[in-house]
Structure 1
Amino acid sequence: MGLFKERIFSGFSLSNFTRVRDVLASNHIWYTTKVRDLSGGTGLGASRAVTGSFGIKPDSSKEYEVLVKKKDADKARHLISKITFDRN
């Protein structure tokens, strides 16, 4: 994680990720995102090629993160605490 960034959201729901981004954008809070695909890898011998994707729900195969500037982290957390999230 960057020196001047703090993670304020991490989850597997695209709709929750979108809600967080929308709230931050509408309140003019700068943010950056990371999306990690957990269903496989890259290159020869990727982990999915070895283990397959059995047991991984398609809607849970990506982890979404939202990061903000450290100075905005408290305000951002306060704003997202008011969001009604999907339970996945």
Structure 2
Amino acid sequence: DLSNLPPAFIDVGSAETFRDEDIDYAQRISQAGGTVELHVWSGGFHGFIGVAPHAVLSKQANETSKNWYRRLLASHKK
């Protein structure tokens, strides 16, 4: 039962071995009425953010996740 999960941020590289599983998980959360934000990073591979932290793609992925956390925290300050 995925209906009681907290908001989820899921990001995955398009070349990630478990990409399809991550996408499926995000879809199942959404179908259960949950809140989920999914990002599939074109060309990203498993661990791309850690392996190449200064790459443009890694910086975009990091900024996107930071913005999601900021929005999430701001929505709970009210």
Greater RCO (Cα-Cα under 8 Å, separation 6 or more) = 1
Structure-1-length-normalised TM-score: 0.28
Higher normalized helix content (fraction of residues): 2
Bigger radius of gyration among the two:
1
Structure-2-length-normalised TM-score: 0.30
